[in-house]
């Protein structure tokens, strides 16, 4: 048995669209998880034209197909930049260094999988050399905003006994603050090196990238006695693909096109609460 999930921006999910899809696919009775925002219905067989349907309504809602069993996950593994926050931290630091446009171009190419992550990271960090260490707090206070729905996502999953981990190819100076603000149980990222109160233009080794996120998935599940099927992973860039492919649910959130192509679960309309709807939580269940 499968579940067809439909998620749109608040107030934008048309009941007529839900009804038409349910009738076209021969699905069971529709259930509204949030009126005007999220609905789902059961389906006995896998539709052959899923991608065609998904494309046809892409401008109206996110269509995802999920297994009916085992939807509520016991662990959340989340990327930070452009996932749990609305920015890329290194781009914001680069703006302070006066090299914003150049660094943003490298970031975009790296996140799209066009560049080697480690090489792209060291190249960008080198451009931050001699920035005062205090710029990190300045950027955190003035430039960084949380992605909508993140606190509710983490609080709701934790209330149901789930473990939450923030894993980033960014920097511990940012993940520590974001993890504390949002409520994550732990965080992992790269460490920016400093000398005499200024950024040295380098990061500590080993550099955490795609493989480190897979390693986090393996280590944390082993420590908690969970299977990878118990994990919901979310991210937006090419270096997230490893963990997204291994987790029980791997969700591409407002992701680069090349990333979406490789993920079965995609969210483009909803905020982070969409990850709760995918697990079958109704809005009334939110913490």
pLDDT digits (tens, 9 = 90+) for 137-179: 999 999 999 999 999 999 999 999 999 999 999 999 999 999 9
Task: Kindly tell me the burial class for residue 192, based on how many C-beta atoms sit within 10 Å of its own C-beta (0-12, 13-18, 19 or more).
Answer: buried
Closest CA to 3 of 34, 36, 35, 31: 31
In this predicted model, which residue has the larger pLDDT, 273 or 104? 273
Q: What is the mean pLDDT of residues 210-231?
A: 97
Q: Which residues are catalytic?
A: 79, 81
pLDDT digits (tens, 9 = 90+) for 172-217: 999 999 999 999 999 999 999 999 999 999 999 999 888 999 999 9
Contact 120, 109 (CB under 8 A): yes
pLDDT digits (tens, 9 = 90+) for 60-87: 999 999 999 999 999 999 999 999 999 9
Task: Give the chain's mean pLDDT.
Answer: 95
């Amino acid at each position: 048995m499968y579940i067809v999930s439909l998620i749109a921006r608040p107030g934008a999910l048309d009941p007529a669209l839900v009804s038409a899809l349910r009738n076209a696919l021969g699905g069971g009775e529709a259930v509204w998880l949030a009126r005007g925002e999220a609905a789902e219905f059961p389906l006995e067989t896998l539709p052959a034209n899923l991608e065609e349907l998904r494309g046809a309504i892409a401008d109206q809602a996110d269509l995802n197909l999920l297994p009916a069993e085992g939807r509520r996950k016991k662990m959340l593994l989340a990327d930070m930049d452009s996932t749990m926050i609305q920015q890329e931290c290194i781009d914001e630091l680069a703006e302070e260094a006066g090299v914003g446009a150049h660094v943003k171009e490298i970031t975009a190419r790296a996140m799209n999988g066009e560049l080697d992550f480690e090489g792209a990271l060291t190249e960008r960090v080198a451009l931050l050399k001699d920035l005062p260490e205090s710029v990190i707090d300045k950027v955190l206070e003035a430039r960084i905003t949380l992605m909508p729905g993140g606190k509710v996502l983490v609080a709701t999953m934790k209330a149901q006994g789930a473990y939450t981990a923030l894993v980033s190819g960014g920097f511990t100076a940012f993940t520590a603050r974001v993890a504390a603000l949002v409520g994550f149980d732990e965080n992992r990222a790269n460490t920016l090196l400093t000398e005499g109160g200024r950024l040295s233009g380098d990061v500590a080794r080993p550099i955490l990238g795609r493989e480190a996120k897979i390693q986090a998935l393996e280590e944390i599940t082993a420590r908690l006695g969970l299977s990878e099927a118990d994990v919901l992973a979310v991210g937006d860039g090419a270096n997230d693909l490893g963990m997204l492919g291994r987790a029980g649910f791997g969700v591409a959130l407002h992701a680069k096109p090349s990333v979406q192509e490789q993920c079965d679960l995609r969210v483009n309309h909803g905020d982070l609460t969409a990850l709760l709807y995918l697990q079958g939580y109704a809005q009334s269940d939110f913490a």
